[in-house]
Amino acid sequence: MATESESFPRPIGTRRRFSGLLAATALGVYLLLIVGATTSLTDAAAACSTWPTCHAPADPLNQTQLVVAWGHRLAAVLVGLLVAVTALAALFGDVSRRVQAAILVGTVLYAVQIGVGAATAVLGPAAVVPGLHLGLGLVIFTAIVLALAWDLELATGSADDDGLEFGTPADGPSVSASASASTASSEPEPAPAADDATAGLSLPESRLARARLTAFAYFKMMKPRLMWLLCLVAAAGMALAAGPALTPDVILATLGGGVLAIGASGTFNHVLERDVDKRMSRTADRPLATELIPVRNAMLFGLFLTAASLSVFLTINMLAAALGLAAILFYSVVYTLLLKPNTVQNTVIGGAAGALPALIGWAAVTNEIGLPGLALAGVIFLWTPAHFYNLALAYKDDYARGGFPMMPVVRGETETRKHIIYYLAATLVSTVALAWITDLGALYAGTVVLFGGIFLWAAIVLHFEQTEAAAFRAFHASNAFLGAVLVAILVDALVVTTPLF
């Protein structure tokens, strides 16, 4: 097996170890980006007026600034060693030309970045183009991650993994009835007998038991599993906008309106996909697929939730209400009806639905759309494909039965795994941007590095294991990453009332 052969100089030896080295290098560069951004934002660089060693000026600054500056220098040395070892392994190992080129570009730019850092320390920030040092770091990180994605594709990909034959191009206008026919031809076994289950659905004899079952069905239509994460997104947006000054009434109104909006969107989604849900194993037991709830009642329930959501948002301001309505319409109409059944980019573009709560949270406090709110929304938008592609891998055959052109169905599992790495890297870069334009401190930095590393490692293991269990593991790692980052934002913004540095 190619991944186990001795195709690299020792002690690397195997391609799997080389991929691990590349991943460690990428994570190291990312850590350096976070530390560098913190150093710049806290003006810790002023604590070191010499290079390469770090000597405090005659009039000592904050000791914490000196520690940050020293930490930045030491991290640069350790990451530099990782980059050098990776470059040597790529030069003398069995890697493709584009992987080798990307690593060499990153290595050369790392040397240039060291020079820029030295000039900044000795000559002062005014001697260097603003943002040049951080910009070089982002390019280096991008080059290393590209090398990692391409290497994993070569090491674990399959040449005949091109997805199923859909009736229209992946990015074409629609996947029509021919999609169902081609899907059926690729699935010789019949789909689960959801219609039979529907016909044989039996209700409890007790009125109380039937009432409980019906009430739970309405609750299930609201997609409660989505609520905790999207409420965290909105809460993080509010915390960034208001900090410790955030008031309970704004919190309750924003989260209350958000829960109702999520419920409305989920209900409309159940209504619009009820026929497709019957063909898919994971959705065949939904209330409308089993005809437990009449379509008319579900529509009325969705409209009631929409009206209730807007009423609550209007107690805050008009902008929050408008964004809440936009979120409901985008998920229910744009994503469910237009994107999901018609384009392989459905998950990418559909990420806007999950990003809107960040803007709602910010607007609830400020009555405007600000840069930090947009930056947080950008993190959610880029995270969504890296998160959901894992679920699409696990349920590939189910999505094919439903006629949805998900990435693994249309372009294959190898391409999907590679795009998970792409979007994960973009997400990590966006967290650096969020740190750059806000007052988030060490807790946030440590959280994104730790949980970003766990997410990255799960995505790499997915390349080698290629199992449903590995896909779910990466899916849960993505949830843990975003949840932990949002909690860190809340703590940094609400609890830490003074600058950390």
Structure confidence at residue 244 (pLDDT): 86
Amino acid in position 323 = L
Structure confidence at residue 126 (pLDDT): 63
pLDDT at position 38 over 50: yes
Distance in angstroms (rounded) separating the CA atoms of residues 188 and 191: 9
Mean pLDDT of 121-133: 68
Mean pLDDT of 96-117: 90
- Taking only the tens place, the pLDDT of each residue in 140-155 is 999 999 999 998 888 7
105-119, 178-192, 201-215, 245-259 — which is least confidently predicted? 178-192
Structure confidence at residue 493 (pLDDT): 87
Mean pLDDT of 459-472: 91
- Taking only the tens place, the pLDDT of each residue in 341-356 is 999 999 999 999 999 9
Q: Which CATH number fits domain 177-194+213-494: 1.10.357.140, 3.30.360.10, 1.10.10.370, 3.40.50.300?
A: 1.10.357.140
Count of CB atoms within 10 A of residue 324's CB? Answer: 29
**Per-domain boundaries in the chain:** 2-156, 177-194+213-494
pTM: 0.81
pLDDT at position 192 over 50: no
pLDDT at position 497 over 80: no
Q: Look at 332 and 209; give whichever has higher pLDDT.
A: 332
Structure confidence at residue 195 (pLDDT): 42
Cβ 270 vs Cβ 264: under 8 Å: no
Confidence of residue 1 (pLDDT cuts 50, 70, 90): very low
Confidence of residue 202 (pLDDT cuts 50, 70, 90): low
Structure confidence at residue 6 (pLDDT): 67
Q: Look at 458 and 35; give whichever has higher pLDDT.
A: 458
pLDDT at position 501 over 60: no
Distance of CA 215 to the CA centre of its chain: 33
Structure confidence at residue 277 (pLDDT): 87
- Residue whose token pair is 């195709």: 7
Structure confidence at residue 196 (pLDDT): 42
Mean pLDDT of 324-340: 93
Mean pLDDT of 378-402: 93
Distance in angstroms (rounded) separating the CA atoms of residues 264 and 254: 15
Confidence of residue 188 (pLDDT cuts 50, 70, 90): very low
Q: Which long-range contacts (CB under 8 A, 24 or more apart) does 13-19 make?
A: 15/94, 15/151, 15/155, 16/155, 16/464, 18/89, 18/90, 18/93, 18/95, 18/151, 19/148, 19/151, 19/152, 19/155, 19/460, 19/463, 19/464
- Residue whose token pair is 């019906």: 214
Q: What is the mean pLDDT of the chain?
A: 82
Structure confidence at residue 189 (pLDDT): 38
Q: Look at 122 and 398; give whichever has higher pLDDT.
A: 398
Q: Look at 170 and 147; give whichever has higher pLDDT.
A: 147
Going by C-beta distance under 8 Å and a sequence separation of 6 or more, which residues neighbour residue 113?
Answer: 133, 136, 137, 140
- Taking only the tens place, the pLDDT of each residue in 371-381 is 999 999 999 99
Structure confidence at residue 193 (pLDDT): 41
- 3 state SS for 433-444: HHHHHCCCCHHH
